[in-house]
Amino acid sequence: MNWNRSFTDLIRNGRPAYWGNWTLAPNIKPGAVGFVSPDTGDFTLVKEETPGLSLSTRGIPNQWKLSSSNVQRSESNVNLDGSATDPDTGIKVTAGVEVKWEFSTVGSIASEFGIASETFISDLTLLGKPETYQWLYDQAQSVSMGSNGRIAQGFGVVTSAVYAHSGLNVGSQDNSSSFSLTGSAGAVQEMLGGANGKGSFVSTRQNKSVDQHLWPYQAEQLAPSPIPIAYTFASFDGPLLIPNWINRLGAFEVVFDNKPGCTYVTHIQIGYDSPAGRQHDEFSLSGGISKTVSNIPLSATNLRVDVKFQGVMNSDHYAFNWPSPLGQWLTGRRAIEMTGVWPGQTHAREV
């Protein structure tokens, strides 16, 4: 089971540009240099920091709660024997709470954290400066990811990280498994969603096999520092900086879909700037026909699409603009859908 891949997919439902850090590896921090496996999201560190960068921090909502659809979460009050101590207050724990996650199928995930902040590189354009690029190229070359002055996709720099005070990642390695966390009510609630780093637990229990990563990882302890749980990553295609890299990109493509039932003919123009100058293409589509414009180079900028629905008296126009597709198109792909029944209203929208 590739836990980090599943975790990343879960995160991307709400944060499309992020990779997960399932194992809570501490070396994933903004400015760290290395390479990411596009299949797993696993980060391999090459250098701890990139020279010449400055970092900034922003606050984000302090509760992080993700789970697969088939995870059942419950809380119940429990009596503890007073042999354990709350590490924040020093008080013996007698009245406690148990939070339990039940996983009906193998591969299910629960992830809950109390978020501290997000730290990020203040100015990403510095990564493309000649001296920084040369330094990064040298690092890439040292791990066979740079040749002929070009950096391979997958090698690059961690650009931001979401840090948590405390929390857990748990994944089910069996059908009908469970995992529970017990401690004083305040400390357990703080561990799973607090903002001040005072979270802790007294004991854990599991039924069947689970993959678990807790922070703090020891009972009756406070976490020593925040830990990264998710990150963004910039890579390169040769000298081209890809600000948010989530998979290998070969070229851009735009899919034009004149939906079945559309009774308008649409006239489409697409143009973009490239090192070879301004490039143009134009064509028409009738209802039920789609066309893909592919092989748009990753160096393309100022990409513009104009869609005209041919009317009798007048025509409807729609325009779409992307100044920097490399920074805006995470997957390298865009789709434009066209609908309308003459003489009624027309629609062209990005999907």
For the chain, first and last CA: distance in Å?
Answer: 32
Q: What pLDDT, on the 0 to 100 scale, is given for residue 250?
A: 93
One DSSP character per residue, 44-101 reads: EEEES--TT--EEEE---SEEEEE-TTEEEEEEEEE--S-SB-TTT-PBP-EEEEEEE
Q: Which two tokens stand for residue 55?
A: 């970092």
One DSSP character per residue, 304-321 reads: EEEEEE--SS--EEEEEE
- Rounded to an integer, what distance in angstroms lies between the CA atom of residue 150 and that of residue 134? 10
SS3 38: coil
Q: pLDDT tier at 312 (50, 70, 90 boundaries)?
A: low
Amino acid at 319: A
Q: Which two tokens stand for residue 338?
A: 């066209």
Q: What pLDDT, on the 0 to 100 scale, is given for residue 313?
A: 67
Domain boundaries, the chain: 3-242, 252-350
For the 252-350 domain, the top CATH level (class) is: mainly beta
Q: Return the ∠ at Cα 89 (arms to 85 and 92), rounded to 5°.
A: 30
pTM beyond 0.75: the answer is: yes
Q: What is the Cα Rg of the chain in Å?
A: 25
Q: Which two tokens stand for residue 37?
A: 């496996």
Contact call for residues 242 and 234 (beta carbons, < 8 A): yes
Tokens 């305040």 map to which residue? 186
pLDDT over threshold 70, residue 25? yes
Q: Which two tokens stand for residue 199?
A: 């979270």
184-219: pLDDT as tens digits: 999 999 999 988 889 999 999 999 999 999 999 999
Q: What pLDDT, on the 0 to 100 scale, is given for residue 332?
A: 95
Q: Tell me what the pLDDT averaged over the chain comes to.
A: 94
pLDDT over threshold 70, residue 331? yes
Contact call for residues 4 and 11 (beta carbons, < 8 A): no
Nearest of 146, 172, 122, 132 to residue 50 by alpha carbon: 132
Nearest of 285, 269, 266, 272 to residue 328 by alpha carbon: 272
Contact call for residues 47 and 33 (beta carbons, < 8 A): yes
- Rounded to an integer, what distance in angstroms lies between the CA atom of residue 6 and that of residue 66? 12
Nearest of 281, 283, 284 to residue 264 by alpha carbon: 284
Q: What pLDDT, on the 0 to 100 scale, is given for residue 89?
A: 87
